[in-house]
Structure 1
Amino acid sequence: MELYHLRTFVAVAEEKHLTRAAERLFTSQPAISAHIKALEETLGVTLFDRTPKGMRLTAVGEEMLPRARQALAAANTFVQHAKGLQDELIGSVRIGLNSDARFLRLAALQAALADDYPRLEVAMLTGSTGTNLPALRVGKLDAAFVSGEIDDPSMSVCFLAEEPLVIAAPTGLREQIVSTEVEALAALPWVYTSPDCSHFRVMRVLFEAHCCEPTRILIANQEDALVEMVRAGVGLGIIRRGVLAPDDPQAYELPVALPAVPLQFAYLRKRENDPVIRALMQEVCAVWGVDAPREQVRDAG
């Protein structure tokens, strides 16, 4: 059994499709099929059921998947440790994003990584807090920006900044907004975020405190989509302060006090000694002005 057999097994299990797994691993579908067949023959078990819709893990496959991930993580740790002994850090890192590039200071982060670790391949992948955390847990991301408190003992998080929030309203609804009392705002149309978004939790706390619920028109789980829906007149929404330009003709911020949420940088606790993670944290903390990274990294429980 070879490590590439395990990589293929994990890729097929996560993608649930031979073609998508082949694209992810930059190889051919026949090669993927051959790897799975060789692994099943070596182990003497059936790992997948082949269905018209794709590949489905058997009960044995479900049992073996976390062990395969552990084996790959151990191999990666071994390799990264060896590379960390060299003068140059060589490898790749996948960073999950949850907001716009300017707010996350991505240009400065990329420049710092390129200067200090020119052979480190960096991928910055668009997502949200709700999608970044599951991707971190299964190894699809190495680190991610997340908003809100993270109650997960498997994660280490580094506080970066507070995100001030506001209620954004369409200019077209200005005449209907006769009051900024919470009960009055609840009667207006709203663009929701998804329940796993910190902005949703702020909205829920705000309205539950007044025993009312806003009128939901649609859900937009990306901030840029939510902003455009507000600007288009669909309804009100909660966004980060400063996203709207002060002179935006289509939307404006309401004078309603909302609590801020923390912007944090997260990664799996078990990888805290990984040279790639340590290098990334060094640069993130420098870009965000965190002077003592070890003191800023705190438990997520």
Structure 2
Amino acid sequence: MSGEVPERLKRDELDAGFFLGDIRDFDAGAGLAVEGREQLFQVKELARLTYRVVGPPFLAGVILGRDWTSLAALPWIGTPYASVHNRLLARLFAELGVRHNVVASVDQEASMVAMVRTGVGLSLSLCRESIALHEQQANGLVIADRVKVDTALSFVCLNARALDPSIAHAFDVIHRVWG
């Protein structure tokens, strides 16, 4: 899970890794230059991603036209703490002062989508927009039309290790490919 990457970097279990989301959602002090303190992570954004809320067809009348606050009360499929889905939703709902109604928990996006198909609940599974559109066409899932979450896929390492030859080389290659 990409949400485990920052912690594994801090424990020297990884040299670098890919991270989905805002690294500050994982570690409130991470990635921010604070007076008297060096930035903890070196981050290179690779792509922007959009996630959508999807639900079973029978909930179309309940999902369409609704905002985050009204969607929170519906049944949701939850994910582990380190999951990008959990981090994005936790931040979003905390900012709104509401909690979403988690009725089941899984750790794989494919499992979340499968549960939505069977009607177990909604999924910000965080269903990437491309997957949501495919599921809408292939299986009739409903995409909430008033909400979405934008985030990033990034390559990260500890800032203190950014000049290690292999890590610096990886960032150089990424910079050449992604600009």
Scaled by the length of structure 1, the TM-score of the pair is 0.47
Alpha-carbon separation, structure 1, partners of 2:105 and 2:89: 13
- Deviation at residue 205 of structure 1 after TM alignment: 4.3
Pick the aligned partner of 2:176 from 279, 286, 290: 286
The structure 1 residue matched to 2:88, chosen from 187, 199, 202, is 202
Report Cα offsets for 1:160-184 as digits up to 9, x if no partner: 1221121111224335547524343
| Aligned residue runs from structure 1 range 261-272, under 5 A | 261-272=151-162
Equivalent residue number for residue 131 of structure 2: 243
Deviation (angstroms), 1:158: 0.8
Question: Which position in structure 2 is the counterpart of 1:148?
Answer: 21
Aligned to 1:253: 143
Moved more, 247-256 or 263-272: 247-256
Deviations 1:214-239 (A, max 9, x none): 21112223323322222232211112
Count of aligned pairs:
162
Partner Cα distance (1:176, 1:274) in 2: 53
Larger CA Rg, structure 1 vs 2: 1
Unaligned runs of 5+ in 2: 25-29, 31-38
- The question of whether the paired residues in 1 share the 8 Å contact of 2:93 and 2:99 is answered with yes
1:217/1:275 Cα in 2 relative to 1: closer, same or farther (>3 Å)?
same
Q: Is the 8 A contact 1:172 1:250 kept in 2?
A: no
Moved more, 263-272 or 226-235: 226-235
2-structure distance, mates of 1:222, 1:236: 15
Superposition TM-score, scaled by structure 2 size: 0.75
Identity of aligned residues (%): 27
Report if the CA contact (8 A) 1:189-1:234 is conserved: yes
Aligned-residue CA RMSD in angstroms? Answer: 2.5
Q: Give 2:116's aligned residue.
A: 230
Deviation at 1:275, TM superposition (A): 1.9
Residue 58 of structure 1 corresponds to none
Q: Deviations over 1:72-129 (max 9, x none)?
A: xxxxxxxxxxxxxxxxxxxxxxxxxxxxxxxxxxxxxxxxxxxxxxxxxxxxxxxx12
Paired with 2:93 and 2:6, the residues of 1 have a C-alpha distance of 26
Q: Which has the higher contact order (CA 8 A, sep 6+)?
A: 2
Q: Which runs of 5+ in 1 are unaligned?
A: 1-127, 291-301
